[in-house]
Structure 1
Amino acid sequence: MTASLATRLAIPAVLGVLALSLSACGSDDDQGDQDKPSDAPTSDTGNTGDTGDTDDTDMGDTDTGDADAGDTEPAGDACAFASAEDLSAAAGQEIEAGAAGPELCFFTLVGPDTDITINYTKVQLDLTEYIDGTREACDDEATDVDAEGDTAFVCETYPGAIGYRFDDTDLLTVVVTADPNADAAGLESARELAARLVPVLQYQG
């Protein structure tokens, strides 16, 4: 066989081998593409875990109204034993009402530095012995006061004077507190004021 003939016979064989090789490569590439994991799209659910940005409910701004516990009735009207008007009329000087409770009332004599306190006590002891003991506790001799038949008297007690009115076992006292530096005249003035105020005291039991 001549060389030219051998060459012509070899060309188809080479072409066949090349075809088979290309076919095999294409098949491998396809298989490789199938074997690759698909890029699954990531699911974006948003920032659902962020609970810090919730609506702020401000419980501190709750409006409960402007209720002012200090807006109580004037003590002069609330005091169960005497009003500022009655005390002023008896004293001949202006007396202003202060705080008041069920058994205690505070007043102030306008002008001089004088506080007035009215107190209620229910006497639980023998009444006669209690009255006698109260008189003996005075800094000076007690002076009786006309109080519509009730036992009533005043006396000095530092620094001022105190008046007592017994309606059976219901006792009302009025304490007139003078300036601690008051002289004898000042104490006597406090005593006179207490004597004027005692008849005004009324127990409304």
Structure 2
Amino acid sequence: MLVFAKENLVILAVPKTGTTAISAALAPRAAMVLRGPSSMKHAHMRRYHRFLRPFVENSIGHAPEIMAIVREPVDWLGSWYRYRSRAALHGHENSTANISFDAFVLEYCKGKPAPFATVGSQSKFVRRNDGEIGVDHLFRYEAQDEIAAFLEKRLNTRLDLAQKNVSPRMALTLSADVAARLREKHKDEFDIWQRAQS
């Protein structure tokens, strides 16, 4: 998470949406950078609202605008699946090395998924406790040009993003019946992506 006091902006770091690269590029300009642990780096809207907002608002004297990025849900899950297939996780309960992408997504659709498919929710990440979206500027991950243009204008800087924390490359396909189940069980994930700026 990044806080820009003068520019009146907080960037929430939704996992697997390229925010590590944004943080690497913009951290030197930020008034506050939360790098870790994960619960701080990836503080969701509810955690920000409850714990961090009072400190930020008292420090800069007003409520800053909030930005976040969300990714097309199948692509987002694919990134998690590939990330958890890396050799460093082999033998760990989070590893997807010996699991098909269909099996991973089906597990994600369960009420209490196994650890390897416990990856959270983009929709819940950007919502306050009352269920309302708490983000002022919500972008699609796929709209990299728009994200860069917004940040360059808002922060009055040139943004040069180098890829960071990249998942291993592999071709993934999701069967039609599993894709349909995902849309049925996680309609809110697709809805939040549709509402984001493209």
Q: Name whichever structure is richer in strand by fraction.
A: 1
> For this structure pair, what is the TM-score category when the shorter chain's length is used for normalisation?
under 0.3
Structure possessing the higher relative contact order (Cα contacts under 8 Å, 6 or more residues apart): 2
Q: Name whichever structure is richer in helix by fraction.
A: 2
Could you tell me the TM-score, scaled by structure 2's length?
A: 0.21
Could you tell me the TM-score, scaled by structure 1's length?
A: 0.20
